[in-house]
Chains A and B, each alone.
Chain A
């Protein structure tokens, strides 16, 4: 831990963590969020045990009205059926798996890429990065910051759906592909915000001081810069889960999402979107599930961001 002029700049486990925990413990939003997330993750994990039916089995005669429309809630189908006669509750539980997997994994990947790009780009400003052949010969200055940020611009402006359709057409649809595509779309937001925040942090006094005493690049990034990004990373992580789940729904609509008949909340909404007038239940149920999940993650993330903000713990 480095102390310059009394300003403590890093988090160490020995001192700050109990304080963060104390802060969290008394924060109701933390508890609401944590319980919500636990319930949802639990539902996803234990879906095979809790679900009353096979989520993909189409109950033809008994699962549809005589006119061929989805059935309302009955004893056998607690939340009714969808338009192929499949049990809505079971699909909801299994859908939690798909949506959560996509939301968490794709998002984590996006955050990781975004943070790396943003911090490296900010850190490279004004610093000359040179490539040379083993230290001998002329070295080539690389405008790393420009390259990284302009690439971010290109990716940001690029029509993601086009790439998704092309990739699926070539490689074939799968959960992995969906995760990769969503990550490729979401990282730019994090990159930009990380970049601008990093620029601010890097102009602070303690960074100047640390440079003066010769802190290495790696240590600078990880121990001095990163902790200040934690609150904003957490906020974007939780927002990203929402974006990821919703984007997955769009991909499902175009047939480039998780391959059918696998259940996913977004797919369930899109498949039944025409029923909003005649049978809103089939759209409302997965929609509320998405809402609840996003809300829980947001509340949890908010509380965490607050607790972990280094500026509290001077």
Chain B
């Protein structure tokens, strides 16, 4: 058992590294220019170039990747320009809420789903089985953002993906 856990842990480190490199690569090939976004839409090309050079964004891919990975292992996740604070702080801030939601969601899913599934299986073929099937089907079919409280301030949901998925945006 112990070796199994160790092996899986070892692999998860590899997986994390692979994801970090892949994510960096994808962001790198995106046509958006971070120097331009920092400088603002109005800045002259000369000023944008100066900022690009000061931030090391004009260096070759491998040099930038190396710098990124070496800072990553030291715990420096970089700086958010939109929010003007360290990324690690942003991530950690939202982590408790995300964890809460995930655990609570899992708990609810188990608390309701498990007994319902067992019940349906043991009463197979009877009308109660049909009823529970229809009931679960209806719940599965409803798009999540239909039931989202629209007036919740964005900080409250605190999910990592809350902006991207825009499920609860209004």
Contact = CB atoms under 8 A, between A and B. Distances in A.
Given A165-B30, A290-B143, A154 B138 contact: no
A158 B22 CA distance: 8
Interface stretch (A79-87, A107-115, A209-217, A273-281): A273-281
B134 interface: yes
Interface residues of B, number: 33
B142 A291 contact: yes
A157 B137 contact: no
B122 interface: no
B140 A294 contact: yes
Given A166-B29, A170-B29, A29 B133 contact: yes
Contacts, number: 87
Nearest to A250: B165
A184 to B, nearest CB: 13
A38 B3 CA distance: 53
B11 A150 contact: yes
A169 interface: yes
Contact of B134 (A165, A246, A274, A299): A299
Interface string B15-33: 1001100110011011110
B166 A253 contact: yes
Interface residues of A, number: 40
A4 to B, nearest CB: 27
A170 B29 CA distance: 9
Contacts of B170: 273-274, 276
Contacts of B164: 159, 161, 250, 254
Interface in B127-170: 130, 133-134, 137-138, 140-146, 150, 164-167, 169-170
A276 B151 CA distance: 11
B150 A157 contact: no
Interface of B: 11-12, 14-15, 18-19, 22-23, 26-27, 29-32, 130, 133-134, 137-138, 140-146, 150, 164-167, 169-170
25 contacts: A29-B133, A29-B134, A157-B19, A158-B22, A159-B23, A159-B164, A161-B164, A162-B23, A166-B27, A166-B30, A242-B140, A242-B141, A250-B165, A254-B164, A273-B145, A274-B170, A276-B150, A291-B141, A291-B142, A294-B140, A294-B141, A295-B138, A299-B133, A302-B133, A302-B137
Interface of A: 28-29, 146, 150, 153-154, 157-159, 161-163, 165-166, 169-170, 239, 242, 246, 249-250, 253-254, 269-270, 273-274, 276-277, 283, 287, 290-295, 298-299, 302
Given A153-B12, A290-B141, A293-B141, 7 more contacts: A159-B23, A163-B26, A169-B32, A239-B140, A250-B165, A273-B145, A295-B138
